[in-house]
Amino acid sequence: MRRRRERGVILDVDADDFGMGELASLAQSVRDSGILVASDELDANGETHTRRDRLNADRAGDVPEAAPVARIAHVILQRALQEGASDIHIRPGAGGTAVYYRIYGILHDIVALPVYVHEPLVRYLQTLAGISVGAGRQRHRAVLHINYRDAEHAVRLSTVRTTAGEYAAMRILYPPSVTGGLDALGMSTDIAAALDLTRDERGGLILVAGPAGSGRTTTLYALLLDLPLADQSVITIEDPVELTLPGVAQAPVDPQEGRDFPTALKQALELDADAIMCSDVPDAATARVLLEASLAAPLVYSAVHADDAVHAMRRLLDLGVSRFMLAEGLGAVLVQRLMRVPCAECAQEREVTPAEREWLRDAGIAEPPPTVSTSQGCEACRKTGVTGRTAAHEVLTIDAELRRLLGSDAAISEVEATAAERLIPLRHDLARKVLAGRVDIVEAMCGTAFLPRYK
């Protein structure tokens, strides 16, 4: 552990601009000040933080020296935002606390902090997020709101008790003003057109699917902000509300007050909204009300955890929605994956292997080129070969034939085979992006290796 402490900061840090190098002395202050409970520190500074308080990470330098643990937290958060990290992990251990950032899908070991910093640091974050540290400790998930460069960022904090202490994981949600909305998601024009058609002509439920960490919430938000909000009433049901969306009414779910997803959805329906977004489908009751809502409201958006479009449909059937209801209510399924963007600075052409050629053909590229580009890493990309992330998609729109089959008593395998024929598959979108140098072919092949085929 000594070695790790001496190694300290792993990423390059601009010392003038930023205080990552100060973490060691701040950690020393945490020990010297003897303040081990973060909430006490907040009281000592005369500050009370409620759940909606904003932590101004732009001004880490303004945090009083008397609260070194707050300063450590601010530095960790500020640096993560500056780096474009998607996640921060604070992992306790007998020899100290390890802080990791996930940047473009790759986990980086950022800094090691002395063991006595861990508890106050996690408590401070919990306090900011409105998790009561004392009695009961029932809640272990909440959202922190952070102002950074004049934009509100949401950080979803989850903690899990381990034998070494509380493990804290934070997922950063960048606002659409930073991510650039729907255009910047990297959505191909035919996929965007299929969604537009559903939105403008058919309506119904637009389901966003993808594995964990695929950016479903960001996409749901971008889809809502793409609506003509000036003359439409848009309501969201969320658990919890993450980012504030201008022009959108956002209702948090609160089961303790009797407002669970189905109840909140029914209330939203009574308001005669033009579009309703339900951030999750946690159970059968929500799934049923969601489909009912999609018959009543012009547009309904929601998200499920599923790897492909057929699986997303099956997920709703498994939750007890009838095939008839699904056929009537479902408009389209959008599946999303986040992929690393290869660095253009160090991209080099190399020959396509026979297996890659076969994969490209299989993905709908009739005549694969003899070479593809690969990025080995350079100074510009910190030797990772990666300069960002983009999304790849699959879209399934429910046309009349598919609706008829789904609502009939045809075998589900027949429905799934027809759905597979209708969709623009993830493989195809990935292959196009490989040829455009926007996705690495090895990552694309690995990411689709275990996807099922329905025909």
193/380 with CB nearer Zn ion: 380
Work out whether 343 is an interface residue with Zn ion (CB under 5 A). yes
Question: Which of 40, 283, 318, 345 is in the footprint of Zn ion by CB under 5 A?
Answer: 345
What 3-state class would DSSP assign to 170?
strand
Amino acid identity at 433: K
Query: Any contact of residue 110 with Zn ion (CB under 5 A)?
Result: no
Indicate which single residue of 60, 346, 363, 396 sits in contact with Zn ion (rule: CB under 5 A). 346
Q: Find the angle CA(268)-CA(269)-CA(272) to the nearest 5 degrees.
A: 100
Q: How far is the CB of 390 from Zn ion (least distance, A)?
A: 16
Nearest distance, CB of residue 339 and Zn ion, angstroms: 16
SS3 for 45? Answer: coil
Q: How far apart are CA 192 and CA 397, in angstroms?
A: 11
Site string for Zn ion, 285-324 (x = CB under 5 A): ----------------------------------------
The span of 21-29, 216-224, 248-256, 342-350 binding Zn ion (CB under 5 A) equals: 342-350
Of the pair 346, 402, the CB lying nearest Zn ion is at 346
- Rounded CA-CA distance 19/98 in Å is 17
Give strand pairing partners of 424: 395
Residue closest to Zn ion (Cβ): 343
Nearer to Zn ion, 7 or 383 (CB): 383
Judged by CB, which is closer to Zn ion: 125, or 343?
A: 343
Return the number of the residue (222 or 381) whose C-beta is nearest Zn ion.
Answer: 381
Concatenate the DSSP letters of all residues of 51-113 into one string: TTPEEEGGGGGGS-TT-HHHHHHHHHHHHHHHHT-SEEEEE--TT-EEEEEEETTEEEEEEEE
Q: By the 8 A CB rule, do 300 and 275 touch?
A: yes
* For Zn ion, the closer CB: 254 or 345: 345
Quick check: 220 and 345 in contact, CB under 8 A?
Answer: no
The distance of closest approach from Cβ of residue 376 to Zn ion in the complex, given in angstroms and rounded to an integer, is 8
C-beta of 368: minimal distance to Zn ion in Å?
Answer: 24
Instruction: Rank residues 63 and 441 by Cβ distance to Zn ion and give the closer one.
Output: 441
Shortest distance, position 382 Cβ to Zn ion, whole Å = 8
Least Å distance, CB 392 to Zn ion, is 21
Q: Binding to Zn ion by residue 63, rule CB under 5 A?
A: no
Binding mask 371-410 for Zn ion (x = CB under 5 A): -------x-xx-----------------------------
Give the span between the Cα atoms of 369 and 338, in whole angstroms. Answer: 24
Complete edge-to-edge strand list for the sheet that includes strand 275-278: 249-252, 234-238, 275-278, 299-305, 204-210, 330-342, 386-397
With CB under 5 A as the rule, give the number of residues binding Zn ion. Answer: 6
Number of H helices, E strands in the chain: 17, 16
Rg, the chain, Cα only = 24
Q: 264 or 372, CB closer to Zn ion?
A: 372
Q: How far is the CB of 108 from Zn ion (least distance, A)?
A: 16
Supply the minimum distance, in Å, between the C-beta of residue 437 and Zn ion.
12
DSSP state of 201: I
Distant-in-sequence, close-in-space partners of 14: CB < 8 Å, separation ≥ 6 = none
Cβ-count burial of 17 within 10 angstroms (0-12 exposed, 13-18 middle, 19+ buried)?
A: exposed
Site residues (vs Zn ion, CB under 5 A): 343, 345-346, 378, 380-381
